[in-house]
Structure 1
């Protein structure tokens, strides 16, 4: 059965309203964090945590390749479902090949194999590397027989939503942070599978995340997407806070044209999720269509993602073992992660609704669902 859900921009809160969840954006927040409003510094892509219990951090890369393959490489300080663990490095690699073969690898490494600079992205896990300076990155990963060597060169400048810090609770001290270091870039390199090396080119993306509290205790779910169509590239997300923070919505949006950012004020975005169906494996409600509508009174952009098929649909439980799996079952934890492929449509309209531009292309996006289905 198809169900329709429409969610819109966050309502303004009146004076004296208790804080629940938002993106830190005041001048005092920028000063406290040592950040500039209009410029991202190289050190921001360096290590922001030290691996201690309660923290987590990862450096993420994905690419849509010209031969039709899809590639994801993530270097992590620990499994995001277990932030209370000490430093426990992990690499995740997903490769979907044009011939239909698909690989989803999760591999753990000893703590001693991990190092990361605080001056910029320079991460090492047992010889696997992720290094760069906001304009050029080199990524090498070799896990379970698959070898990836790629470069990523930025085509859109680094960007963050305000400070990039999502803050929760009355003290605003519970944090989940996000830095899209390369919103879009050109990719070159190779992957090697079963002894066969393939030279590749394509379009890629890199972001960096970290936090000081388990995400499942502050976030209920999120849609996250990025892609490009015609001269446009987009990053769009709709985050729903945990029940104890009133399911507060936190939209994030960035649209660039010909490499220049033309829209990034998420307060001007309405989000719609429609044709919602229950995923048979995870039991989560999944929208076939997610739409971000940006309207500043002069330009109106409608960014629509239409799901064609699943690339991944995994529960967190199936990736756990031993006492952690038993404990998760006892507390009825049923988190899930889903990744989709489908059509991205970017449409620009005049204030009176006249269509000025329409561009379409293939894109990949995700649904992270920590809480129980609402």
Structure 2
């Protein structure tokens, strides 16, 4: 068993040059390299007043080329119109026509870019097969990182996985789809992640999402390592005040979880239907969050849909072309790794009971969250 921990000790901040009392602009710049095994993303999503949803993600390296040296700049833009369709395209750029800054979020891939400073961000994607966007994100809460934002994996902390976020922004601008520009306004989220280990090799599962209530913004990213890393649980969790935008609670890592599970028929495994988290810092500050999903928004059975082996994958590729692409590999490869990747995204209802000393506040709201379930069923993992 190898170690997995949040880097939040004084010596971790000193080693990484991170200010423990303030998130600084450079932290949203490029943090990794273009070496083998390195990857990362600047991610932006939004839900608009008319029901439209959008996602734009900039990656300096294609996930399929993560183990190769050198960058392969790319982005994806996805738009869900009010009628529920999913429209998605990808755009690519040469390294010569790209720039990724290290002093702030300053990413340019050809004619496309995302730039910002934790207060305001602009996201621009030129028309790509009928999809485009010009969006402005204005932060409504402080940026959040748990500790240094870095989970270290391995006995020498040689691997890392991260998340640094701005959990709630007002989003305005326009989207191009169905041959016309559409003015939009709503709320959204930004995060920056960078890593040097594939999540397929690091985690058994994770729960990631945020909830907007009438009083608070709630953000959670619960990581659970795989057997190699001792099924270690590392939570990121914070609550911000809607009126001030200030973070009023963040976990010290101590929490309890109870789930009520329900079988997912497509994947053939039970997933949590209701999750009850209790984050108790032991100092009179406590957050209790309960989430019950009402609708499955996305079901991805990466294991079940994978070809049996390399020969079958090759036959499918020849027959179907790009339609045959599979995330991660074949069943044979997954079996050798002892994993069965699956992914769920939900619309849920949630509630929060926040205790700060003698003050207790209760609120409720809607939540969209993902459950990324890479490992096989194992009672030690605490699904």
Question: What TM-score do the two structures reach when normalised by structure 2?
Answer: 0.83
**Which of 352, 361, 372 does residue 368 from structure 1 map onto?**
372
Deviation of 1:136 after TM superposition, in Å, equals 0.7
Distance 2:90 2:273 in 1: 27
Distance 1:136 1:70 in 2: 20
1:138·1:150 contact (CA, 8 Å) conserved in 2? yes
Q: How does 1:182-331 map to 2 (within 5 A)?
A: 182-257=166-241, 258=243, 259-280=245-266, 282-296=267-281, 298-316=284-302, 328-331=330-333
SS of equivalent to 2:330: helix
Matched, 1:347 2:353: yes
Distance 2:64 2:230 in 1: 22
Q: Aligned pair count?
A: 353
Distance 2:373 2:128 in 1: 27
Matched, 1:126 2:126: no
Matched, 1:99 2:83: yes
Distance 2:64 2:340 in 1: 11
**Which of 29, 33, 57 does residue 46 from structure 1 map onto?**
29
**Which of 116, 119, 123 does residue 135 from structure 1 map onto?**
119
Distance 2:171 2:285 in 1: 31
2:249·2:285 contact (CA, 8 Å) conserved in 1? no
2:306·2:330 contact (CA, 8 Å) conserved in 1? no
1:177·1:211 contact (CA, 8 Å) conserved in 2? yes
1:80·1:214 contact (CA, 8 Å) conserved in 2? no
Deviation of 1:143 after TM superposition, in Å, equals 3.3
Distance 1:228 1:271 in 2: 21
1:310·1:341 contact (CA, 8 Å) conserved in 2? yes
SS of equivalent to 1:37: coil
RCO (CA 8 Å, sep 6+): is it higher in 1 or 2? 1
2:89·2:131 contact (CA, 8 Å) conserved in 1? no
Deviation of 1:356 after TM superposition, in Å, equals 4.8
Question: What TM-score do the two structures reach when normalised by structure 1?
Answer: 0.85
Corresponding residue number in structure 1 for 2:321 = none
**Which of 348, 358, 362 does residue 362 from structure 2 map onto?**
358
Distance 1:366 1:44 in 2: 25
Distance 1:154 1:241 in 2: 31
2:39·2:195 contact (CA, 8 Å) conserved in 1? yes
Deviation of 1:104 after TM superposition, in Å, equals 4.1
Deviation of 1:138 after TM superposition, in Å, equals 0.1
Distance 2:16 2:60 in 1: 22
Q: How does 1:23-172 map to 2 (within 5 A)?
A: 23-80=6-63, 83-86=66-69, 87-106=71-90, 109-141=93-125, 142-172=127-157
SS of equivalent to 2:12: helix
Deviation of 1:124 after TM superposition, in Å, equals 1.8
- Structure 1: which 5+ runs fail to align? 1-17
Distance of aligned partners of 1:299 and 1:162 in 2 relative to their CA distance in 1, 3 Å threshold: closer
SS of equivalent to 1:29: helix
Distance of aligned partners of 1:132 and 1:206 in 2 relative to their CA distance in 1, 3 Å threshold: same
